[in-house]
Structure 1
Amino acid sequence: MQITNQAGDQHQVPTEGGNQKQYLLPFILVTCLFFLWGMAHNLDSVLIPHLKKACELNNRQSTLIDTSVFFAYFIMAIPAGMLIKRFGYKNSIITGLLVFAVGAFLFVPAANTRTYELFLFALFVIGCGLTILETSANPYAAILGPAESSSKRLNLAASFNGLAAMVAPIVGSLFILSGTNHTPEQMAAMPEAEKAAYLLGEAASVKMPYIVLGSILVLVAIIFYFVQLPSMKVTHTEAEIKPGFFSVLKFRHLSWGVAAQFFYVGAQVCITSFFIRIAQQGAGLDEKTAGYYLGIYGFLFMAGRFIGTFFLRYVKDYVLLSIYCVMSVLLCLVAIYGSGIVVIYALGGIGFFMSIMFPTIFSLGIKGLKSNTETGSSWLVMSIVGGAIIPYGMGTLIDMNHDDIQSGYIIPLVCFLIILSFGVFGHKVKTVSE
């Protein structure tokens, strides 16, 4: 496998430390992208309870926020790859940033009209931008330097995604959540004019954060346009001809990995999407305090990624994955049957133990694929669609149980059991022929 420039000439990435200075600025810019899409994803956890209130939704309807974003990943994964192949990493990153910004600016008309469908469309556009960004930035960060240190670069960049998991809920709690909640009885007794003004005010609070976010995205896109970036891509030799898109699933461990990633993303989105609501219902916290606790959850997620990376130096990846799955199952039981603040502590613990799951499942899923690696990676990216489907099922279950949020956490519990199966035996590299 070689690194070539966009013109097709072979280019060897230098391994001498002094020659790596040309990659420092591009890597810093790419790392900023990890933070920005982390902000978008983690603001959704604030939007779900907020728009549920502002647009008068049930739990199932509110999870369409997740569906809109993560369904875009499924739709855009392959077109994003084609975009990179045709126009290169730099142009694809700029395109992703601008599409992301358009989605953010669409929050203004959505809020002005308090139209939930327009909010969902804006989130779908954001999801399309995020797909292009993630499909571009992950491999680009990997090749910005020597191949032997690509994993370190990706982990370093991904740590800023974890930072966003802590920052976004705090920003959302400060600028989006009002802290004012009315019971259904109070809403029914409210004069229509007062009720309309209250709901419109709640919807309007999302405008400024997303205007600022959209403006930052445009600014970053301009910076990318004017900064000279190494124009590189990974190509295969003639001996490494890639197989058909579906035939790669003959690798059983990849098929298991796709399933495990589907349920992992679904579980993670379920945990965060209903965090604020379970903190209110199960622990008796007010809306803003619950949002700050979600920020602490994000800190534990980030800390878990660093600590888990350290443990991986001494423990087999599939063993650590299995242990973390067992802990997550036990903590889900606490979240379902516990009461008071212990429920929030359990969810924070789940955040810690979930932190290594996505990259660990990804690396185990593509292990030993050789020339099949890029196709296998595409399947693992597409499996992110679990975040669009599973939370909808959780919201439906909660509505069926008369808004009992805690009962819905049986869904992520089942997800962790499936991931545990992957960690115990599904990760073993074996093809159908074997």
Structure 2
Amino acid sequence: MESIPLAALTKPQINRSIVVIGTLFFVFGFVTWINAILIPYFKIACELTNFQSYLVAFAFYISYFVMSVPASFLLKKVGFKNGMLLGFLAMATGAFVFLPAAYTRTYEIFLCGLFTIGTGLAILQSAANPYITLLGPKERAAQRISIMGICNKGAGILAPFIFSFFLLRPEDSETIAHLADLATSERKIFLDALVRRVMLPYSCLGIVLIALGALVKFSPLPEIDTDEGPLQTQQAGPEKKSIWQFPYLILGAVAIFTHVGTHVIAIDTVIGYAGSMGIPLTKARPFPSFTLLATMIGYCTGIVLIPRFFSQLSIFRACTVLGTALSLGILFAKADISLLGYQSDVSLWLVVLLGLANSLIWAGIWPLALDNLGKFTKLGASILIMGLCGQAIMPLIYGYLADAYDHRFAYVILLPCYAYLIFYAFKGYRIQSWKPVPIRTER
């Protein structure tokens, strides 16, 4: 199928494209946020430290750093649809790797499977994010990204419940609590049986991913010519010879790095933090879904408010400030509360509320960082995708601090992240040169 310029797409084509891309974001969310259950699950089943358990996030997300730029060249060579098909096949391969990993209870093989799934997802993200950013007016980009975020986080709310149904049983709590008291042979039998529960859901997931790849390949999604999009047709300036001559893009990639780091910490660590307060895994498993629900509320708010009442830049700035305030509250606020049947410290629910603060930061960064890149837009989008490796690095730092100090103190890593996001939201996105020259005017 030949490429179609974005300007030539009809409204029905655009609407169909949004539906297909929304389905992709649902799949992204489902596969991604399973990690929130896998981290504490592998910590028990494979007998890991906090740091070792967060290698789940590292193996999954470091693939974005490795694959994002190669993915852009792949998509240019084989096209949008064929590239997405390859992405789905890579994800399916990673899911099937879980079978020998579970049978042998080998953590390293699980990590290889997660890296392979992440590689496929990096290809899909490299296609879908710039696609949805460009598919309509620039000032409504945050609105469209928010809709995609609802699809993503909606799947994320479902994923922990669905997978925990397969992986955890009510009677496991008692055995897990007294695991250290079991004889070595009894503990091995229990842990082998526990870890092999991933085999059925990941077998099904692999089959579904292959089917989805085939459906997208033969879907009515147009093979668009992104070189003709509204951002690409803007002139980058004849003096621009390299992607590194756009400081606001490079600073935007760092903003993506810090943002996704805070986001994944809020979701993937909340079960462990609840456990530090005496809430068992079988009861704490809904907390990632609570955090993602808070994120969805933020997305819905953004759809209503942007751009009718507030600009996406204003909302972006408000979210960075809110994230900073919540991070300080997590570190210093102390009060016992009872909420939704959970007796805990108030800081646990402040971690949940980070989902609200993080909801519209991603949507704020992308349009600002891709603005006026001209012919460098595709490569710029790939560099932003590279920033997703923040989800690999930040949980490891959190895990190290949690082992060395405690779970609450480990959240100190959030403060420099939000400080940088405030810098980018108020100043960094306007910097056009690495030299001390005037910055861009406000939008």
TM-score (norm 1): 0.88
Q: Is contact 2:234–2:374 with CA below 8 Å preserved after alignment?
A: no
From 301, 304, 307, the equivalent of 1:307 is 301
Q: Which residue of 2 aligns with 1:219?
A: 211
Distance in 2 (CA, whole Å) between partners of 1:215 and 1:9 is: 31
From 149, 157, 177, the equivalent of 1:158 is 149
Q: Is contact 2:249–2:370 with CA below 8 Å preserved after alignment?
A: yes
Q: Sort the Cα spacing of 1:271 and 1:246 in 2 relative to 1 into closer, same or farther, 3 A.
A: farther
Q: Sort the Cα spacing of 1:127 and 1:244 in 2 relative to 1 into closer, same or farther, 3 A.
A: farther
Distance in 2 (CA, whole Å) between partners of 1:341 and 1:39 is: 29
Q: Which residue of 1 aligns with 2:98?
A: 107
After TM superposition, give the deviation of residue 423 of structure 1 in Å: 1.7
Render the CA deviation track for 1:87-107: whole Å, top value 9, x for unaligned: 111111111111111111111
Give % identity: 30
Distance in 2 (CA, whole Å) between partners of 1:342 and 1:293 is: 14
After TM superposition, give the deviation of residue 9 of structure 1 in Å: 7.7
Q: Which residue of 1 aligns with 2:387?
A: 383
Distance in 2 (CA, whole Å) between partners of 1:346 and 1:415 is: 17
After TM superposition, give the deviation of residue 24 of structure 1 in Å: 5.0
After TM superposition, give the deviation of residue 160 of structure 1 in Å: 0.3
Q: Is contact 2:131–2:226 with CA below 8 Å preserved after alignment?
A: no
How many residues align? The count is 422
Q: Which residue of 2 aligns with 1:407?
A: 409
Residue 349 (str. 1) matches residue 353 (str. 2): yes
Q: Which residue of 2 aligns with 1:45?
A: 36
Q: Sort the Cα spacing of 1:97 and 1:319 in 2 relative to 1 into closer, same or farther, 3 A.
A: same
Distance in 1 (CA, whole Å) between partners of 2:377 and 2:101 is: 41
After TM superposition, give the deviation of residue 147 of structure 1 in Å: 8.4
Q: Sort the Cα spacing of 1:158 and 1:382 in 2 relative to 1 into closer, same or farther, 3 A.
A: same
Q: Sort the Cα spacing of 1:153 and 1:312 in 2 relative to 1 into closer, same or farther, 3 A.
A: closer
Distance in 1 (CA, whole Å) between partners of 2:238 and 2:67 is: 21
Q: Which residue of 2 aligns with 1:263?
A: 258
From 371, 392, 401, the equivalent of 2:396 is 392
Gaps of 5+ in 1: none
* Stretch of structure 1 that moved more, 226-235 or 302-311: 226-235
Render the CA deviation track for 1:236-294: whole Å, top value 9, x for unaligned: 59996899999323333223212211111111112212110111213x32212211132
Render the CA deviation track for 1:376-397: whole Å, top value 9, x for unaligned: 2222111111111121111111
Which runs of structure 2 are paired with 1:185-334 in the superposition (5 Å)? 186-235=178-227, 247-282=242-277, 284-313=278-307, 314-334=309-329
Q: Which residue of 1 aligns with 2:62?
A: 71
Distance in 2 (CA, whole Å) between partners of 1:279 and 1:405 is: 9
Distance in 2 (CA, whole Å) between partners of 1:256 and 1:153 is: 23
* Letter matched to residue 103 of structure 1: G
After TM superposition, give the deviation of residue 327 of structure 1 in Å: 1.9
* Letter matched to residue 269 of structure 2: F
Residue 126 (str. 1) matches residue 117 (str. 2): yes
* Letter matched to residue 235 of structure 1: D
After TM superposition, give the deviation of residue 141 of structure 1 in Å: 4.4
Q: Which residue of 2 aligns with 1:428?
A: 430
Gaps of 5+ in 2: 336-343, 438-443
After TM superposition, give the deviation of residue 38 of structure 1 in Å: 0.6
CA RMSD between the two structures: 2.9
After TM superposition, give the deviation of residue 431 of structure 1 in Å: 1.8
Render the CA deviation track for 1:118-171: whole Å, top value 9, x for unaligned: 000000000011011111223444566788977655443332012122112222
Q: Which residue of 1 aligns with 2:339?
A: none
TM-score (norm 2): 0.86
